[in-house]
Amino acid sequence: MPLPKPVYYPPFNITRSSHVIMTSRDLEASRAFYEQVVGLVVSDYDADTLYFRGLEEVCHHSLVIKRRTQAQECDAIGFRVLTEEELEKAGHFFKARGLSTCWIEVPYQGRTLSVIDPSGTPVHFCATMQTKPRLYTQFENFKGGAAMRFDHYQVLVPDMQAQTDFYAEMGFRISEYMALDSKLIATFMFRKPGTQDIVFLENAGPRLHHFAYTVSDSHSILRACDIAGNMGMGDVVERGPGRHGPAGVLFVYLRDPDGHRVELFCDHYLLIDIEVEPVAWDVRKPGLSLRWGLPPQACWFHEATHFTDVKVVELDGKRGPVMTLERYLSEKALAKSGS
Protein backbone atom coordinates (compact mmCIF):
# COMPACT_ATOMS: atom_id res chain seq x y z
CA MET A 1 0.00 0.00 0.00
CA PRO A 2 2.38 2.74 -1.12
CA LEU A 3 1.07 6.24 -0.42
CA PRO A 4 1.74 8.59 -3.34
CA LYS A 5 4.38 11.22 -2.76
CA PRO A 6 3.09 14.80 -2.47
CA VAL A 7 3.28 16.86 -5.66
CA TYR A 8 4.04 20.40 -4.51
CA TYR A 9 4.14 21.86 -8.03
CA PRO A 10 1.23 20.15 -9.82
CA PRO A 11 0.47 20.48 -13.54
CA PHE A 12 -2.34 22.94 -12.74
CA ASN A 13 -3.46 24.72 -9.58
CA ILE A 14 -6.69 23.50 -7.98
CA THR A 15 -7.56 25.75 -5.04
CA ARG A 16 -10.53 24.03 -3.38
CA SER A 17 -13.71 22.01 -3.64
CA SER A 18 -16.32 24.43 -4.90
CA HIS A 19 -19.79 23.10 -5.59
CA VAL A 20 -21.98 20.12 -6.34
CA ILE A 21 -24.87 19.69 -8.79
CA MET A 22 -27.74 17.48 -7.58
CA THR A 23 -31.15 16.56 -8.99
CA SER A 24 -34.56 16.51 -7.32
CA ARG A 25 -38.12 15.49 -8.08
CA ASP A 26 -39.51 18.19 -5.78
CA LEU A 27 -37.74 21.55 -5.78
CA GLU A 28 -40.15 23.03 -3.26
CA ALA A 29 -39.36 20.31 -0.70
CA SER A 30 -35.64 20.67 -1.45
CA ARG A 31 -35.78 24.42 -0.93
CA ALA A 32 -37.55 24.04 2.42
CA PHE A 33 -34.98 21.49 3.61
CA TYR A 34 -31.82 23.33 2.55
CA GLU A 35 -33.09 26.78 3.52
CA GLN A 36 -34.84 25.97 6.81
CA VAL A 37 -32.94 22.93 8.14
CA VAL A 38 -29.42 23.26 6.71
CA GLY A 39 -29.59 27.06 6.73
CA LEU A 40 -28.28 27.82 3.24
CA VAL A 41 -29.06 31.02 1.36
CA VAL A 42 -30.91 31.01 -1.97
CA SER A 43 -28.77 32.99 -4.42
CA ASP A 44 -31.09 32.56 -7.41
CA TYR A 45 -33.79 30.27 -8.71
CA ASP A 46 -35.99 29.62 -11.70
CA ALA A 47 -38.70 27.11 -12.50
CA ASP A 48 -36.25 24.22 -12.75
CA THR A 49 -33.14 25.13 -10.73
CA LEU A 50 -32.17 26.27 -7.24
CA TYR A 51 -28.80 27.90 -6.46
CA PHE A 52 -27.64 27.91 -2.82
CA ARG A 53 -24.61 29.25 -0.97
CA GLY A 54 -23.42 29.24 2.64
CA LEU A 55 -23.56 32.30 4.87
CA GLU A 56 -19.80 32.93 4.60
CA GLU A 57 -19.67 32.33 0.88
CA VAL A 58 -19.27 35.19 -1.56
CA CYS A 59 -19.33 33.09 -4.72
CA HIS A 60 -22.76 32.63 -6.27
CA HIS A 61 -23.41 28.97 -5.51
CA SER A 62 -21.99 25.91 -3.84
CA LEU A 63 -25.08 23.73 -4.24
CA VAL A 64 -27.15 23.56 -7.42
CA ILE A 65 -30.34 21.49 -7.48
CA LYS A 66 -32.02 20.76 -10.80
CA ARG A 67 -35.54 19.49 -11.31
CA ARG A 68 -35.46 15.95 -12.68
CA THR A 69 -38.42 13.58 -12.96
CA GLN A 70 -36.37 10.38 -13.05
CA ALA A 71 -34.02 8.99 -10.40
CA GLN A 72 -32.36 11.46 -8.06
CA GLU A 73 -28.70 11.73 -9.00
CA CYS A 74 -25.58 13.89 -8.92
CA ASP A 75 -24.69 15.55 -12.22
CA ALA A 76 -21.16 16.57 -11.17
CA ILE A 77 -18.85 17.69 -8.40
CA GLY A 78 -16.93 20.93 -8.92
CA PHE A 79 -13.50 22.36 -8.14
CA ARG A 80 -12.04 25.83 -8.51
CA VAL A 81 -8.70 26.55 -10.16
CA LEU A 82 -6.74 29.72 -9.54
CA THR A 83 -6.87 31.41 -12.96
CA GLU A 84 -8.08 30.97 -16.53
CA GLU A 85 -4.53 29.97 -17.45
CA GLU A 86 -4.71 27.12 -14.92
CA LEU A 87 -8.01 26.07 -16.48
CA GLU A 88 -6.28 25.74 -19.85
CA LYS A 89 -3.55 23.68 -18.24
CA ALA A 90 -6.20 21.42 -16.73
CA GLY A 91 -7.69 20.79 -20.16
CA HIS A 92 -4.30 19.78 -21.55
CA PHE A 93 -3.63 17.56 -18.51
CA PHE A 94 -6.81 15.51 -18.93
CA LYS A 95 -6.57 15.28 -22.71
CA ALA A 96 -2.99 14.01 -22.46
CA ARG A 97 -4.30 11.15 -20.32
CA GLY A 98 -7.02 10.23 -22.77
CA LEU A 99 -9.88 11.29 -20.50
CA SER A 100 -13.19 12.68 -21.74
CA THR A 101 -13.23 16.50 -21.64
CA CYS A 102 -15.42 19.27 -23.02
CA TRP A 103 -16.04 22.98 -22.45
CA ILE A 104 -19.53 23.84 -21.23
CA GLU A 105 -21.56 26.94 -20.45
CA VAL A 106 -22.84 27.08 -16.86
CA PRO A 107 -25.02 29.91 -15.50
CA TYR A 108 -23.26 32.29 -13.09
CA GLN A 109 -19.86 30.63 -13.71
CA GLY A 110 -16.97 31.50 -15.95
CA ARG A 111 -15.79 29.10 -18.62
CA THR A 112 -16.18 25.57 -17.27
CA LEU A 113 -14.26 22.41 -18.09
CA SER A 114 -16.23 19.16 -17.78
CA VAL A 115 -14.16 16.02 -17.22
CA ILE A 116 -14.73 12.35 -16.46
CA ASP A 117 -12.05 11.20 -14.03
CA PRO A 118 -10.54 7.67 -14.15
CA SER A 119 -13.19 6.27 -11.77
CA GLY A 120 -16.01 7.63 -13.95
CA THR A 121 -16.85 10.56 -11.67
CA PRO A 122 -18.04 13.67 -13.56
CA VAL A 123 -16.01 16.70 -12.44
CA HIS A 124 -16.34 20.39 -13.36
CA PHE A 125 -13.54 22.95 -13.10
CA CYS A 126 -13.92 26.72 -13.28
CA ALA A 127 -11.77 29.72 -12.38
CA THR A 128 -14.44 32.36 -11.77
CA MET A 129 -18.01 32.73 -10.57
CA GLN A 130 -20.36 35.65 -10.03
CA THR A 131 -20.36 37.00 -6.48
CA LYS A 132 -22.96 37.83 -3.85
CA PRO A 133 -22.71 39.54 -0.43
CA ARG A 134 -21.44 37.53 2.52
CA LEU A 135 -24.21 37.18 5.09
CA TYR A 136 -22.37 35.69 8.05
CA THR A 137 -22.97 38.73 10.29
CA GLN A 138 -26.70 39.03 9.55
CA PHE A 139 -27.48 36.94 12.62
CA GLU A 140 -31.16 37.87 12.64
CA ASN A 141 -31.58 35.98 9.36
CA PHE A 142 -29.82 32.75 10.37
CA LYS A 143 -31.92 29.63 9.86
CA GLY A 144 -31.52 25.99 10.88
CA GLY A 145 -27.89 24.90 11.04
CA ALA A 146 -26.70 28.22 9.57
CA ALA A 147 -24.28 26.43 7.23
CA MET A 148 -21.25 28.64 6.66
CA ARG A 149 -19.34 27.25 3.67
CA PHE A 150 -19.00 24.25 1.42
CA ASP A 151 -16.17 21.99 2.52
CA HIS A 152 -15.86 18.57 0.85
CA TYR A 153 -17.38 15.52 -0.81
CA GLN A 154 -16.96 11.83 -0.12
CA VAL A 155 -16.92 9.63 -3.21
CA LEU A 156 -17.12 5.83 -3.15
CA VAL A 157 -14.76 4.15 -5.61
CA PRO A 158 -13.83 0.49 -6.21
CA ASP A 159 -10.11 1.12 -6.89
CA MET A 160 -8.77 3.18 -4.01
CA GLN A 161 -5.11 3.05 -4.99
CA ALA A 162 -5.64 4.22 -8.57
CA GLN A 163 -7.98 7.04 -7.55
CA THR A 164 -5.68 8.24 -4.78
CA ASP A 165 -2.64 8.16 -7.06
CA PHE A 166 -4.44 10.14 -9.77
CA TYR A 167 -5.62 12.91 -7.44
CA ALA A 168 -2.17 13.08 -5.84
CA GLU A 169 -0.78 13.75 -9.31
CA MET A 170 -3.10 16.78 -9.47
CA GLY A 171 -1.58 18.14 -6.26
CA PHE A 172 -3.96 16.75 -3.64
CA ARG A 173 -2.17 15.82 -0.41
CA ILE A 174 -3.28 13.15 2.06
CA SER A 175 -4.12 14.35 5.57
CA GLU A 176 -5.36 11.04 6.98
CA TYR A 177 -6.01 7.57 5.64
CA MET A 178 -7.54 4.25 6.68
CA ALA A 179 -5.95 0.91 5.98
CA LEU A 180 -6.46 -2.77 6.65
CA ASP A 181 -3.02 -4.37 6.78
CA SER A 182 -1.52 -3.34 3.42
CA LYS A 183 -4.84 -2.42 1.78
CA LEU A 184 -5.91 1.21 1.40
CA ILE A 185 -9.54 1.69 2.51
CA ALA A 186 -10.00 5.48 2.59
CA THR A 187 -8.01 8.65 1.89
CA PHE A 188 -8.72 12.21 3.03
CA MET A 189 -7.23 14.53 0.40
CA PHE A 190 -6.95 18.31 0.39
CA ARG A 191 -5.94 21.37 -1.61
CA LYS A 192 -7.16 24.13 0.71
CA PRO A 193 -5.45 24.19 4.14
CA GLY A 194 -7.86 21.81 5.89
CA THR A 195 -8.04 18.05 6.22
CA GLN A 196 -10.09 17.36 3.10
CA ASP A 197 -11.58 18.64 -0.10
CA ILE A 198 -12.44 15.15 -1.26
CA VAL A 199 -12.54 11.81 0.56
CA PHE A 200 -12.34 8.49 -1.23
CA LEU A 201 -13.72 5.35 0.39
CA GLU A 202 -13.56 1.82 -0.99
CA ASN A 203 -16.98 0.64 -2.13
CA ALA A 204 -18.97 0.01 -5.29
CA GLY A 205 -18.78 3.17 -7.37
CA PRO A 206 -18.33 5.80 -8.38
CA ARG A 207 -21.12 7.09 -6.15
CA LEU A 208 -21.46 10.24 -4.08
CA HIS A 209 -21.71 9.30 -0.42
CA HIS A 210 -22.19 12.86 0.85
CA PHE A 211 -21.24 16.50 0.55
CA ALA A 212 -20.51 18.65 3.59
CA TYR A 213 -20.84 22.18 4.96
CA THR A 214 -19.12 23.70 7.96
CA VAL A 215 -21.08 25.26 10.81
CA SER A 216 -19.79 27.66 13.44
CA ASP A 217 -20.44 25.60 16.59
CA SER A 218 -22.09 22.52 18.10
CA HIS A 219 -25.29 24.47 18.81
CA SER A 220 -25.78 24.91 15.06
CA ILE A 221 -25.76 21.13 14.61
CA LEU A 222 -28.36 20.68 17.34
CA ARG A 223 -30.47 23.53 15.97
CA ALA A 224 -30.58 21.88 12.53
CA CYS A 225 -31.86 18.69 14.18
CA ASP A 226 -34.40 20.63 16.26
CA ILE A 227 -35.73 22.51 13.24
CA ALA A 228 -36.03 19.25 11.28
CA GLY A 229 -38.04 17.81 14.16
CA ASN A 230 -40.29 20.85 14.38
CA MET A 231 -40.94 20.61 10.63
CA GLY A 232 -42.06 17.00 11.01
CA MET A 233 -38.98 15.54 9.36
CA GLY A 234 -36.98 14.35 12.36
CA ASP A 235 -36.22 11.08 10.58
CA VAL A 236 -33.91 12.92 8.15
CA VAL A 237 -31.28 12.74 10.91
CA GLU A 238 -29.48 9.61 9.72
CA ARG A 239 -26.34 9.59 11.86
CA GLY A 240 -25.20 11.58 14.87
CA PRO A 241 -24.74 14.04 16.32
CA GLY A 242 -21.37 12.54 17.17
CA ARG A 243 -17.63 13.06 16.95
CA HIS A 244 -15.53 11.51 14.19
CA GLY A 245 -12.30 9.66 14.83
CA PRO A 246 -10.49 11.10 11.78
CA ALA A 247 -10.19 14.91 12.08
CA GLY A 248 -12.04 14.73 15.42
CA VAL A 249 -14.93 16.95 14.31
CA LEU A 250 -18.48 17.12 15.66
CA PHE A 251 -20.96 16.11 12.96
CA VAL A 252 -24.45 15.15 11.91
CA TYR A 253 -25.57 13.49 8.67
CA LEU A 254 -28.95 14.38 7.19
CA ARG A 255 -30.88 12.93 4.24
CA ASP A 256 -32.65 15.48 2.07
CA PRO A 257 -36.15 14.86 0.60
CA ASP A 258 -34.61 13.01 -2.36
CA GLY A 259 -32.33 10.87 -0.21
CA HIS A 260 -29.10 12.78 -0.91
CA ARG A 261 -26.83 12.86 2.14
CA VAL A 262 -25.42 16.13 3.53
CA GLU A 263 -23.10 16.49 6.50
CA LEU A 264 -22.91 19.47 8.85
CA PHE A 265 -19.78 19.63 10.99
CA CYS A 266 -17.67 21.92 13.14
CA ASP A 267 -14.50 22.87 11.30
CA HIS A 268 -11.39 20.67 11.16
CA TYR A 269 -7.78 21.48 11.95
CA LEU A 270 -5.45 23.60 9.82
CA LEU A 271 -2.99 21.75 7.60
CA ILE A 272 -0.40 23.60 5.51
CA ASP A 273 3.17 22.68 6.44
CA ILE A 274 4.88 20.08 4.27
CA GLU A 275 6.65 18.21 7.09
CA VAL A 276 3.33 17.01 8.53
CA GLU A 277 2.91 13.31 7.77
CA PRO A 278 -0.49 11.73 6.96
CA VAL A 279 -2.28 10.24 9.97
CA ALA A 280 -2.79 6.48 9.64
CA TRP A 281 -5.89 4.72 10.99
CA ASP A 282 -6.26 0.96 11.33
CA VAL A 283 -9.88 0.14 10.48
CA ARG A 284 -9.91 -2.46 13.27
CA LYS A 285 -9.09 0.16 15.90
CA PRO A 286 -11.96 1.04 18.28
CA GLY A 287 -13.09 4.64 17.97
CA LEU A 288 -12.20 4.96 14.31
CA SER A 289 -15.67 5.74 13.04
CA LEU A 290 -16.70 7.83 16.03
CA ARG A 291 -15.31 8.65 19.46
CA TRP A 292 -18.55 8.07 21.36
CA GLY A 293 -22.17 7.16 20.75
CA LEU A 294 -23.78 4.45 18.66
CA PRO A 295 -22.51 3.20 15.28
CA PRO A 296 -24.29 4.28 12.07
CA GLN A 297 -27.20 2.50 10.47
CA ALA A 298 -26.39 0.02 7.71
CA CYS A 299 -27.80 2.45 5.13
CA TRP A 300 -24.99 4.91 5.93
CA PHE A 301 -22.46 2.36 4.69
CA HIS A 302 -24.35 1.04 1.68
CA GLU A 303 -26.59 3.78 0.27
CA ALA A 304 -25.22 6.61 -1.88
CA THR A 305 -26.23 8.88 -4.76
CA HIS A 306 -25.48 7.65 -8.27
CA PHE A 307 -23.83 9.94 -10.79
CA THR A 308 -25.95 10.72 -13.83
CA ASP A 309 -25.48 8.15 -16.63
CA VAL A 310 -22.46 6.58 -14.90
CA LYS A 311 -22.27 2.82 -14.46
CA VAL A 312 -21.45 1.59 -10.96
CA VAL A 313 -18.58 -0.90 -10.76
CA GLU A 314 -18.80 -3.45 -7.97
CA LEU A 315 -15.90 -4.23 -5.69
CA ASP A 316 -13.48 -6.95 -6.73
CA GLY A 317 -14.10 -9.14 -3.71
CA LYS A 318 -16.16 -8.58 -0.58
CA ARG A 319 -15.47 -6.06 2.14
CA GLY A 320 -15.18 -7.28 5.68
CA PRO A 321 -18.14 -6.85 8.05
CA VAL A 322 -18.65 -3.36 9.46
CA MET A 323 -20.20 -2.44 12.78
CA THR A 324 -23.65 -1.11 11.99
CA LEU A 325 -26.29 0.00 14.45
CA GLU A 326 -28.35 -3.05 13.57
CA ARG A 327 -25.45 -5.43 14.19
CA TYR A 328 -24.48 -3.63 17.39
CA LEU A 329 -27.99 -3.87 18.85
CA SER A 330 -28.31 -7.52 17.80
CA GLU A 331 -25.01 -8.45 19.45
CA LYS A 332 -25.95 -6.53 22.59
CA ALA A 333 -29.30 -8.34 22.76
CA LEU A 334 -27.64 -11.73 22.28
CA ALA A 335 -25.06 -10.97 24.95
CA LYS A 336 -27.77 -9.86 27.36
CA SER A 337 -29.94 -12.92 26.73
CA GLY A 338 -26.96 -15.20 27.27
CA SER A 339 -25.92 -13.63 30.56
Q: Are 21 and 64 in contact (CB under 8 A)?
A: yes
How many structural domains are present in the chain? Answer: 1
Q: From 206, 225, 204, 221, select the one nearest 301 (Cα to Cα).
A: 204
Q: CA of 172: how far to CAs of 4, 13, 290, in Å?
A: 10, 10, 25
> Is the pLDDT reported for residue 324 higher than 90?
no
pLDDT of residue 125: 98
- Cα 21 to chain centroid distance, Å, stands at 12
Domain span at 233: 14-302
Q: pTM of the prediction?
A: 0.95
Tens-place pLDDT, residues 272-317: 999 999 999 887 776 666 678 788 999 999 999 999 999 999 987 6
> Is the pLDDT reported for residue 71 higher than 90?
no
Tens-place pLDDT, residues 155-188: 999 999 999 999 999 999 999 999 988 889 999 9
**For residue 31, which amino acid is it?**
R
pLDDT of residue 315: 87
CA distance 35 to 30: 8
Q: What angle do CA 65, 69, 71 make, to 5 degrees?
A: 80
Mean pLDDT of 217-246: 94
Tens-place pLDDT, residues 95-126: 999 999 999 999 999 999 999 999 999 999 99
Q: What are the CB-based long-range contacts (under 8 Å, 24+) for 135-139?
A: 135/41, 135/55, 136/55, 136/56, 138/55
pLDDT of residue 286: 61
Tens-place pLDDT, residues 183-197: 899 999 999 999 999
At 270, which CATH number?
3.10.180.10
Is 335 domain-assigned?
no
pLDDT of residue 244: 85
Is 8 domain-assigned?
no
Strand, coil or helix: 218: helix
pLDDT above 70 covers what percent of the chain? 96
Which residues, including other chains, have CB under 8 Å from residue 272's CB and lie 6 or more apart? 193
Classify 108 in phi/psi space as left (phi over 0), alpha (psi -120 to 50) or beta. Answer: left
**For residue 69, which amino acid is it?**
T
Which residue did the predictor score with more confidence, 69 or 80?
80
- Whether the CA torsion 322, 328, 329, 333 is positive or negative: it is positive
pLDDT of residue 132: 97
Is 42 domain-assigned?
yes
- Strand 41-45 and strand 101-104: the pairing is unpaired
Q: CA of 59: how far to CAs of 80, 128, 134, 254, in Å?
A: 11, 9, 9, 24
Is 336 domain-assigned?
no
How many C-beta neighbours within 10 Å does residue 154 have? 20
Is 90 domain-assigned?
yes
**Which letter does DSSP use for residue 137 in this model?**
T
- Strand 305-306 and strand 14-24: the pairing is unpaired
Is 331 domain-assigned?
no
Classify 138 in phi/psi space as left (phi over 0), alpha (psi -120 to 50) or beta. Answer: beta
E strands, 58-127, in order: 63-67, 74-81, 101-104, 112-116, 122-126
Q: Does the bond joining 206 to the residue before it have cis omega, within 30 degrees of 0?
A: yes
Is 334 domain-assigned?
no
Is 319 domain-assigned?
no
Q: From 301, 48, 11, 253, select the one nearest 156 (Cα to Cα).
A: 301
